A and B are shown apart, each in its own frame.
Chain A
Amino acid sequence: MKKFSEFKTRLKIAKKKANKNSFTNNKKNTSSLGKALKLSTEMVAAVMVGSIMGFILDSWFDSKPWLTIIFFFVGAASGILNVIRSAKQMQEN
């Protein structure tokens, strides 16, 4: 009977070790690389969408470069907002 209880505690310790080492460590690495890749495109996409929106509005209102220029900067602002937001989200998790 003694041997059985000893085995039980040993199994518990081994399980704890296995959980600690292999799984969590590996997962953290992959997801942080994913986060890095995520942040870089977030900024570019917003600037692109802003500029394209400005360009379309320009051809609607016939006000050639001005709305494109304004929406480029608004797009850059929203890109920064996006990056800050996703960075905040990463810190919470």
Chain B
Amino acid sequence: MSTNPMHQFNVYRIGPEISLGKIDISFTNASLFMMISALAIIGVFFIGTKRKSIIPTKIQLLTELSYALVSKMINDTAGSKAKPYFPFIFSLFMFVLFCNMLGMLPYTFTVTSHIIVTFALAAAIFIGVTIIGFVNHGMGYLKLFIPSGVPIFLLPLIVIIEVISYLSRPVSLSVRLFANMMAGHTMLKVFGGFVISLGLIGGWLPLSFTVALTGLEILIAFLQAYVFAILTCIYLNDALNLNH
């Protein structure tokens, strides 16, 4: 095994090289783990909803709780108008959650520790929310950039600031998820390396750190998926109910 803490983030090709024009679309370990998490979600929900007993089994409880969590989150942050977007936000939340959680298993690859994956998700959300805003409000959506009660000579500066703040949404959304996952996994690997290099005598202290950090990482894995979904709801709320 390699002792380089960044080695776990390597993306390599599995199977033959496939290219579409100049773009390399070969099957990699990242795509493998994305598929595994998507299939795991489908599997869990298939088993969980197969037998709808009144006293739920553990998997049924899991599916029902996750449904209730996301549905309550959408109702609280974006209101009843956002109900049609429930399937999207729910699948987004489950996908990020499963990617994060699968990454916590040994020998797996964490898809969300790559900025290109998280940025693709965030950019899709950003473009979608902007389209929803323009469809719902027409050109009135541009009022989002003009806060009320601003003196006219300050307006150009304020509009630039507001536009930058709007454009920074996908960046902050993606950087948050990526940085948390990557930092956590690197830290786990570094402490794991200390265990090996300090040996039987001094290795117990970093080992206990690793155990504690694993617990923290599982909390963060859930929390980041939750934050990702809740921020999507907040942006959706801006697009649906324009209140400035």
Contact = CB atoms under 8 A, between A and B. Distances in A.
B241 to A, nearest CB: 14
A12 B202 CA distance: 54
Contacts of A77: 161
B180 A48 contact: no
Contact of B161 (A37, A48, A78, A89): A78
Nearest to B227: A34
Interface stretch (B127-135, B167-175, B203-211): B167-175
Interface residues of A, number: 23
B36 interface: no
Q: Helix, strand, loop or mixed for chain A's interface?
A: helix
Interface stretch (A2-10, A13-21, A38-46): A38-46
A33 B227 CA distance: 10
Q: Helix, strand, loop or mixed for chain B's interface?
A: helix
Interface in B198-244: 219, 222-224, 226-227, 230-231, 234
A41 B176 contact: yes
A75 B164 contact: yes
A34 B171 contact: no
Interface in B132-173: 157, 160-162, 164-165, 167-169, 171-172
Contacts of A34: 223, 226-227, 230
Contact of A48 (B160, B162, B171, B176): B171
B35 interface: no
A79 B175 CA distance: 15
A26 to B, nearest CB: 12
Contacts of B227: 34, 37-38
A46 B165 contact: yes
B176 A78 contact: no
B179 interface: yes
Nearest to B234: A89
A28 B63 CA distance: 22
B175 A82 contact: no
Contacts of B223: 30, 33-34, 37
A44 B222 CA distance: 23
**Which residue, of B161, B168, B230, has the highest number of chain A Cβ atoms within 10 A?**
B168
Given A30-B223, A46-B165, A82-B165, 9 more contacts: A34-B227, A38-B227, A42-B168, A49-B167, A49-B171, A75-B164, A78-B165, A79-B168, A81-B161
Interface of A: 30, 33-34, 37-38, 41-42, 44-46, 48-50, 53, 71, 74-75, 77-79, 81-82, 89
Interface of B: 157, 160-162, 164-165, 167-169, 171-172, 175-176, 179-180, 219, 222-224, 226-227, 230-231, 234
